[in-house]
Structure 1
Amino acid sequence: MTDIRDLNATAVRDSMDIVSKVQVSDLGRPTPCAGWTLADLLGHMTVQHHGFAAAARGDGADLRHWEFAPAGEDAVERYLAASELVLAAFAEVDDALETEFDLPEFKVDPPRFPAQLAIGFHFIDYVVHAWDVAATLGVPYVLRPELEQDALRVALAVPNADNRLAAGAAFIPALDEPEATGDTENTPALDRVLRYLGRTPDWRPPAEG
């Protein structure tokens, strides 16, 4: 079985490549995340890295690590630095991946998850957010073949419940239930992941003017 940290690192580094294309003039662009500009999205992506890194170090319960701030002109640099921070923190987790992460943004009591599951959450989040940024910029995002089955497995394990309706939820309700996705054999894995996590695969930025 592939180490979830390796899958996550690949997804995060792919997101870094895409975020590196962002210019300051792009920060006001609308994104697939309703009501969020690209600055908002990058701010969220950056703080989530800090929060998960803190959780890996045993300090995730401190809400200061999760405080959101919209990205400024140094958005790309901050995101790249936060990415390296979280990858380094995950690399230090014991290889059994049984360490518990405190993830207070998950509305459960207690909000504590084994590392294997917590890093899986992070992995699928950054597959989807890499696509979010790429779609915002109008550039391609290709889910690597070696990530497809694990991304689909993790995505379909995310409960499609009422908590997706809460303000600030990571994902909105699925556009399709897993059993109602139609011709799944011929539907790209990324499209299935996106639809199950509430994204529209053919989303495009609104026309300007």
Structure 2
Amino acid sequence: MRSTVIVELHARAMELAVQVVDGVRPDQLDLPTPCAGWTLRGLLEHCVGQHQGFAAAARGAGPDPALFADAPLGADPAGAFRRSGADLTAAFRAAAAAERPLWLPEIRDGGPFPFAAAVGFHLLDTLVHGWDAAAALGTRDGLVAAVDGDDALATALLTVAEAVPSTPEARAPGRAFGPGLEPGGGAGRSARALALLGRDPAWKP
């Protein structure tokens, strides 16, 4: 897939995630999420840190894990998510023409990874963690409908999810994704992608 295409698909994914997080109230930050051991606060801190790390990588940073560290949310968690997401979108758009490989120290051997593949990794993270947040908030059906209603975005999500290694070592406890699950008959592409990554599409708090 061309870099400019995956970057714009990523931007659409980020817009959907922002719409979910914009509705977060301070009293909801301690809600459980489908990420075992993570509250909604912890999830959002992780997401903001990843936004910052991928943006730094897109601007040429080397393999420094500190750039990807979870980030404090401050007094405006939704704003921190929105602003860091917008900065990442701008960084990806600026880097698309150069197709510079990205160093991603938390993925496999750290890279460098081809630009389009790296953007695809974060597109996956954006939609999966957006779903995690929506599931915690009880709004997942709207996000799932929006993703499945966008043919190109749903296809990109499922394609990247299918490429995630499914070996026992890759899905061991503490890894980004758990062992794959069966999504059930009639599941849409977003549900199939979630199940491939070890998420239960029917998860409830």
Q: Distance in 2 between matches of 1:29 and 1:72?
A: 18
Deviating beyond 4 angstroms after TM superposition, the runs of 4 or more aligned structure 1 residues are none
Note if contact 2:74-2:80 (Cα within 8 Å) is conserved in structure 1. Answer: no
| 2:177 equivalent in structure 1 | 171
Identify which of 89, 92, 96 aligns with 1:90. Answer: 92
SS of the residue 1:165 aligns to = coil
Which residue of the other structure, out of 144, 147, 156, is the alignment partner of 2:162? Answer: 156
Which piece of structure 1 moves more, 141-150 or 86-95?
141-150
Matched residue type, 1:159: P
1:145 and 2:150 aligned:
yes
Displacement after TM superposition at 1:96 (Å)? 6.2
1:104 corresponds to which residue?
105
Any idea what the Cα deviations from partners look like across 1:39-61, whole Å, max 9, x if unmatched?
A: 00000110000000011011142
**Aligned to 1:154, what secondary structure does the other structure show?**
helix
How far 1:77 sits from its partner (Å)?
Answer: 1.2
Q: TM-score with structure 1 length normalisation?
A: 0.87
Match of 1:196 in 2: 196
Contact 1:40 1:70 in 2 (8 A): no
Give the letter aligned to residue 187 of structure 2: T
Choose from 60, 64, 71 the match for 2:66: 64
Normalization by structure 2: what TM-score?
A: 0.89
Gaps of 5+ in 2: none
Q: Deviations over 1:49-103 (max 9, x none)?
A: 0000011011142333112245343211111110011000000114363x11000
Distance in 2 separating the partners of 1:101 and 1:166: 26
Per-residue CA deviations over 1:126-158 (Å, capped at 9, x if unaligned) read 111111111100013121322111211111011
Q: Tell me the CA shift for residue 112 of structure 1.
A: 1.4
Residues 11-52 of structure 1: CA deviation (Å, up to 9, x unaligned) = 011100110000000000000000000000000110000000
Number of residues paired by the alignment?
A: 196
Identity %: 40
What residue ranges of structure 1 are gaps of 5+ in the alignment? none
1:69 and 1:100 map into 2 onto residues whose CA distance is 24
Checking the alignment, whether the CA contact within 8 Å between 1:128 and 1:194 is kept in structure 2 is: yes
After superposition, the Cα gap between the structure-2 partners of 1:190 and 1:94, relative to the gap in structure 1 and judged at 3 Å, is closer
